[in-house]
Every structure is written in C-alpha cells, then in structure tokens.
Structure 1
Amino acid sequence: MKDPVTAITGITYDRESIEHWLFRNKNTTCPVTKQPLPLDSDLTPNHTLRRLIQSWCTQNASFGIDRIPTPKPPLNKTHVQKLLKEMTDSRFQLKSLMQLELLAAENERNRKCLLENGVPKSMIMFLVDCYKKGEILEGIEEALSFLQFVKVPTEEVKNLLSENDQILDSLTWILSSEVKNSVAVKSHAVIVLKRFINKCDSILLERLKPEFFEKIVNVLKHGVLTQQGLCSALHVLLCCCPLGRNRLMMVEVGLVHELIEIELTAAHEKRITELTFGILFHLCSCANGRFQFLSHEGSIAVLTERIMKGSMTVDDRGVFILSLISKFSATKNVLDEMLKVGTVKKLFVLLQGDHAKYLKDKVMQMFKAHSEVWKNSPCFPQTSFYAS
C-alpha cells in the first residue's frame, strides 16, 4: 500500500486499487462491506496510516526496502482550469498540452477529472483551430495522444460533431500534412477519427467528400501507420461503406487496389484481413469496383489464399466477393484464373467442411453457373454431387 485512502464506508484501501475497482471496472459497492460506493464518492487520504507505512519503510531500509514517497494531491478542477487557460496563450500552449497529456496517462482518476472539466472538447477545438489556420503547431501530437487516453462518452462525441462540422476534416487534414514523428501522429489521428466516425449519423456520412477518402487512401498507400492505426483506418472506411455514394468515391480514389496491396504486402493479421475483405465486399457490389478488383493481378489469388485460414468472417466475405464476381463479371479469363490459382479447389474443400449452409449454398450456385467451364477440372465435383 502506497497511498492509503478511506472510503465513505470506513474501509481503507490503496488509492490505485480502489480507483481501478471504481473507475475501470465500474463497480459501485465497497469490496469489503458491500455497501453502496458511488463513483463520485470521496476518497479521503489516510495520512496517519501513510506515515506509519513510511516509518516502517525507513526502519527496514537496511533490508532493501525503499521509503514510499508522499503522494501528490489529487488533480482538481482549479489545476485543470489553469492549464486550459494556459492553452490559449501561445507562450505556454505546448507546455500545458504536454502536462495535460501526462496527467491523462497517469491514472483513471485524472482522466475522470479531465473529462468532467471539458478538456477533450478543448483538445478537439485546438486541432480544428490548427486546421483553420493551416498550421501544424507544436502540441498536435500531445493533443491527439490525450484523446486516445481519455475516452469521450458517446453523447459528448455526438454533441461535438453537431456543434462543429470541421472535426472530421481537421483529422484527415493531419493525415495529409507534413508532421514530425509522422507515423505516431498520423496513427493517433486515424485512431481518434475512428472514434468519431463510429458516432456519426447517416446525414453526416452522406456529406463526406472525395478528399476525405483520398487522404485515407494516401496514408494506406505510403504505409505511414502503425498496426493499430491501419486497423483504425480500415474500420473508418468500413463504417462509410453502407452508403452507395461513399462506395463510388472509394473506388474512384483507388481504394480497391490499395486493399489488395495491403493483403499482399502487410504482415498477415486476421483482424486486418477481416476489415479489408469487409470493405472489398461492399466495393465489389458495384461494377467499377469489380472491374478494379479484377484489374489487379493478385486479387483472386490472395482472396483464395485467405479463405479457410481460421476466420469465419473472412470465409463469409471471401465467398460473397467470389459470388459477386461469379454472377456479374465471370468472363472466360476470370473463370480460368479461378481454376489456375486454386479457387475452385478451395471452394470444393469448403463445401466438404463444417461451414454454414448459406455459404455452401453460395458455392453450389457458383458451381452450377460455371460447370461447363470447370467440369473437366480434376478438382471439380461430379455432376451427381452438385445437381439438385
């Protein structure tokens, strides 16, 4: 025990442990007495016990025991408001941003205090102001990092989006800007963008412009994202896919090609493949998307290779993409390639395995539609197998 505090139930705990119990695990009872212990209840420092612990540490220093330091006072509204005021002064702006980031990283109690005092909104407005001025100011990395530490509640995100229509533009502007520590900053930006895009309503998603998708595709193309950043960027795109106009814009900015390149060149990770296949399924629902998919020499091969690798989501999306190709874009060359790269063989193996009936039905539809082309292949099922 390093920082003893007494709850309103009269039980003394280590501050870090009880705050983890309350804030991280969202418990509302005292662990010992089981009495109600609201999240906003006071935790009073137990100075007497802390001095006793420090005294014991001092007496046992010869045994290698270090004296625990006197805890810092908890973060309070006055300190937060002082830092927010300094944020508006260019002389102290960077220093205050750095201090706020450090406080957010420190513990859950600080994050709760910072959230209650409106710091996330101030951070967002700082980024919007940078965007309006067209200046990459010092402190952008700290502001983005802060927004990763502090989870902004859904309602507050929605309010921020309704109050300011330049938040999404500000975040994608960072993706296209020259910044120091580029990989970290752009990864932070797209992670924050994911949190906001998750809360966007259909009206806001319908107002997205081609530049929004172009900037995301560019960071995918140049590989300037961490693995977490890449997953977040793909998640953003997948959230935008249900709207037809967004799918068309994604195709026009070359997203199909970049998704296939990610699968061909990036370290294989199940979650990334699930996201890329999810987006490709949506994009292949339009003719131009299927055309661009088939224009890439490695598209069918990589799609085939990823199926039946341990992810039901990948199997689902992969079969549905092949079904779209089979139904709308099955030229003789495409069907021959599906034989050449093992697609037909893989589908037959899937048909024999323990997979959902709807997937097997999709495979059977493809077999029936193209049996005349594939029937002489040794991997193609006999007529008695697929005829029904």
Structure 2
Amino acid sequence: MALPWRSRRSSLVKNKPVKRISGVEVSIPTHFRCPISLDLMKDPVTASTGITYDRASIEAWLDMGNATCPVTNRELKQEDLIPNHSIRKMIQDWCVANRSNGIERIPTPKIPVTKAQVTDIVSEIAAASRRRDRARCGQLVAKVRSSVREGERNRGCFESNGTGRALAAAFGAFAGVSSVDGSVTRVLEEILAALTTLLPLDEEAASHVGSPESLTCLVSILKHGDLVARLNAAVVVKELLACGGARADGTADTAGLVEALVKLIKEPVLPQITKASLVAIFYLTNYSERTASRVVGMGLVPVLIETLVDAEKSMCEKALAVLDALVGCAGGREQAYGHALTTPVLVKKMFRVSDTATEFVVSALWKLCRGEEEAGDEGEGRGRCLREAQQAGAFHKLLLLLQVGCGEATKEKATALLRLLNGYKKDECIDTTDFKGLKQPLLPV
C-alpha cells in the first residue's frame, strides 16, 4: 500500500510546472522529474532498484546516513548508481524543443571518479615520484586538479583515498632532488596547487611537507614564484603550522621563512596571499616569543596598525590577531606606543568588525595599558595609551561589552581595563549614575 507522503508526492509531481520568464507555464513530464526533489533531473542516475533519481538528490539522501532506496525501501549503495544516458538525452531534447518557452538545455554532466580510479591515480603518483619522473607526475597531478574542480563528490573521493598524503610525499620527494632546476620547480608548484584543493593536511602529509627540504622549497616559492604559486605556498605553510605547536617551533627556524612571510605582508601583492601570510605569522608568533621578537624587529607592528585603518572584516581579524601576539613582547609594545593611530584604531574596531576581532582588540589594549603601568614613569608611552583610550570612548565600549556578554578571558581583561581607566583620571571618567541599568556591580577602583 502506498504511504501517504508518497501519494502526496505523486499529486505534486503531476501538477508541478516550470515557469518561463514571460509567465507561461510548461509542465515537466513526470519521468523527467527526480522523485526526491520533484525538479527536472540534470544528472539522472538509475539505482539498482530500477528507480531513476537526480544524482545530487540521491547522493545527498545517502550522505545523510540512509541506506535504502527512498521509493522501494530496498538496500542501496552509492556505487550502485549508474548514469542513465537515455533519460538524460531525452531531457536535453525536451529542453531544446521548449527553448521558445524559456527552458534552458541542461549541460551534459561529467561522470564522477570512482574509488578504483582514484586508487590507481594515487598509486601512479607514488610510483612516479619514486622514479623522479617529473613529466608523468605532472600529468597525474593535473588530472587530480581537473577532477577535483568538477565537483565536491570528486573532491571527497580523492580526499578519502589518501591523495593528499600521496601529493605531500611527492612534494617531499622532488624537494629532495639535489639539483632543483626549472622543471623540478614547475612540478613542485603543480603539486602544491593540487594539494591546496585537498586541505587540511593529516599528520602523515604534514610530516612530508614539514621536512627541511620541503620547507626550503616552500621558502623559495614564496620569494620567487608567480602569484598563484606564492599563494599556494603561503596556504600550505599556514595549514602546516595549524597542525601543531611543536612543528611550528621547528618551522620558524627554516632559513628565510619568517622573512618571506613578513615581506608578503609589508609589500602586499594579493589579498589572499596577505591573509594566508598573516595567519602563518600568527601561529609562529603565538608559539614562540623569540619569533615574535624577530617579527617585531622587521617592523611589522606599524604596518599592521595602518592596515587596520580601512581593512575589510577578514583582513582586519587576521591583522588584529597578529598585532595582539606582537604587543605581548616589550619591543612590540614600544613600537605600538610610538604610533599615533594605535589606540584610536583599536578602540574604533572594538565593535565594528566581529566578536573575534573584539576579543583581540580587548586583549591588545589590555597588554598595552598594563605595559604602561608596569613600566612606571620611565616608560616611553607612560599614560598615553590610557589617556587616548579614554578620549576615544573605550570606557563606554568596555561597559557595553560586559553588558552584552563575552568570553571569560575577554571579560577579565575588560574588567581590568576598566579599573585602569577609572583610576587614571577620575575627572574624565563616567559618573556613577551612568552605571544604572547594568547587571554588573560598580567596578571597584
């Protein structure tokens, strides 16, 4: 007996039209519609149960954890789906016949790769890299990139069958070639381009990319590659550092790496490269105070402050993250104190970007103001940061932040900042009556 939802679906299928722009309705033939979405099928596949679905709909159904055919309720696996070229051709012919009614012809879909095909490609990449066969490896890598671009299903198939590890191993193998000439550089750049489509790196892949030889090649590409190659190198370095602190500590010692990343931030050539470099520097400086001091010595603090003036959200968040890390060391604070825009820009960005940015702003301001207090009267920026924060309206904003809520660490720093601001110049602070309505008690001085 037909289930109620199936009966209702049948009635919908019979009556569902397609409207052209002019408003004329065209009924889609029932056998051209997917039983799941009720829409015109663009990539019809027939299941082992004999029912034809649109590939996107039935794969989404199976990806949700279902293991049966929605119509017959019989067992169904993704590998049982077979492209129905006959139905697809009939649908295309129908689209062409109804072109005058505003129906566009569906494109011929490309057949997704299978697990067996991916396994063969991965094996061939491994064999070609062992032989140092640059030409064959380049062909296979290009095939991976082309297939991944065809759809998320292909990407998932390559990702789940060890392609990222194979590409990382191939990169390490060619990076270890004693004489790196133009042809080796090209295959390394091609491997990087394919690897960036299959991120994040797993532990094995990270170990290959994080080898001394691989890191040396990445630095060379960051310095001398074209825009696309430098972007891919920066993204891979960023992902490598995201894998763990121990690896980041060793990576920072790679000759020229920190300098190359800082240069890409100071002399921006592409926003995506700048963002990836900022995230990489953030990891490096967060894991090592020694690296943070090196970066400060390269003059990055003023660059970050000026970047914040008119940066868009994503860039702003990343620049704030790095600035917060750099003002954690004395040299970073001194450079920040010496820049006229530091405090006004930070206060301005407190509520104008995102919750993440707000946390970094409060943390950076707290480090700067606390640094003034700890420096005493001899500090170069003595009182300036607190005074400018008050004038820019930091007191009001911090009170509002505590009222609307924030993370525990940010709340502690905001509270400490309010105490500093409230105690620095009482005549410039808010009258106690302004605290009415706040849930928090009056902050002690």
The 1:366–1:134 alpha-carbon spacing in structure 2 relative to 1, beyond 3 Å, is farther
1:44 deviates by 1.7
Matches within 5 A, 1:306-321: 306-321=349-364
Aligned counterpart, 2:370:
327
Cα separation, partners in 2 of 1:224 and 1:69, compared to 1, 3 Å: closer
**1:380 maps to amino acid:** C
In 1: Cα distance, 2:311 partner to 2:142 partner: 36
SS at match of 1:203: helix
Whole-Å separation in 1 of the counterparts to 2:326 and 2:77: 46
Q: CA deviation at 1:40?
A: 5.2
Question: Residues of 2 paired with 1:98 and 1:139: CA distance?
Answer: 10
Aligned AA for 1:179? G
Contact residue 275 and residue 318 of structure 2 kept, 8 A: yes
1:14 maps to which residue? Answer: 54
- Please give the alpha-carbon distance, in whole angstroms, between the structure 1 residues aligned to 2:138 and 2:209: 24
Q: Distance in 1 between matches of 2:233 and 2:163?
A: 17
Structure 1 residues 345 and 218: CA distance shift in structure 2, 3 A: closer
1:92: Cα distance to partner? 5.0
**Shift of residue 217 of structure 1?**
0.7
- Match status 1:149 vs 2:189: no
Moved more, 126-135 or 202-211: 126-135
Question: Are residues 1:380 and 2:429 paired?
Answer: yes
- Residue pairs, 1:20-169, within 5 angstroms: 26-29=63-66, 32-33=70-71, 41-54=79-92, 56-57=94-95, 71-76=109-114, 77-78=116-117, 81=120, 84=125, 89-92=133-136, 94-129=138-173, 131-132=175-176, 133-135=179-181, 137-152=185-200, 157-163=202-208, 165-166=210-211, 167-169=214-216
CA distance in 2, matches of 1:387, 1:3: 68
C-alpha distance 206-79 of structure 1, shift in aligned 2 (>3 A): closer
Larger relative CO (CA 8 A, sep 6+): 1 or 2? 1
Q: For residues 421 and 320 of structure 2, what CA distance do their matches in structure 1 show? A: 22
Identity of aligned residues (%): 27
CA contact (8 A) 1:28 1:39 kept: no
Shift of the 365–71 alpha-carbon distance from structure 1 to 2, 3 Å rule, reads: closer
Distance 1:145 1:16, change over 3 A: farther
Q: In the superposition, relative to structure 1, how do residues 59 and 27 fare at CA in structure 2: closer, same or farther (>3 Å)?
A: same
Paired position in structure 1 for 2:296: 251
2:314 maps to what in 1? 271
Counterpart-to-counterpart distance in 2, 1:129 and 1:344: 58
The separation in 2 between residues aligned to 1:174 and 1:305, in whole angstroms, is 37
For structure 1, list consecutive stretches of 5 or more residues without a partner in the other structure.
none
Following superposition, the deviation at residue 246 of structure 1 comes to 3.7
Deviations 1:224-265 (A, max 9, x none): 232x4333322223333044344334334443333223224x
Q: Contact 2:45–2:82 (CA<8 Å) still a contact in 1?
A: yes
C-alpha distance in 2 between matches for 1:216 and 1:300: 26
Is the 2:334–2:381 Cα contact (8 Å) retained in structure 1? no
Residue in structure 1 matched with residue 420 of structure 2 by the alignment: 366
Higher alpha-carbon deviation: 41-50 or 216-225? 41-50
Task: Provide TM-score, normalisation by structure 1.
Answer: 0.77
Change in Cα spacing, 1:9 to 1:229, as seen in structure 2 (3 Å) is farther
For residues 58 and 246 of structure 1, the distance between their equivalents in structure 2, rounded to whole angstroms, comes to 63
Say if 1:350 and 1:360, in contact at 8 Å, map to a contact too. no
Q: Structure 2 vs 1, CA of residues 381 and 346 (structure 1 numbering), >3 Å: closer, same or farther?
A: same
Question: CA 1:299–1:6 in 2, change beyond 3 Å: closer, same or farther?
Answer: same
Instruction: Name which one, 1 or 2, has greater alpha-carbon Rg.
Output: 2
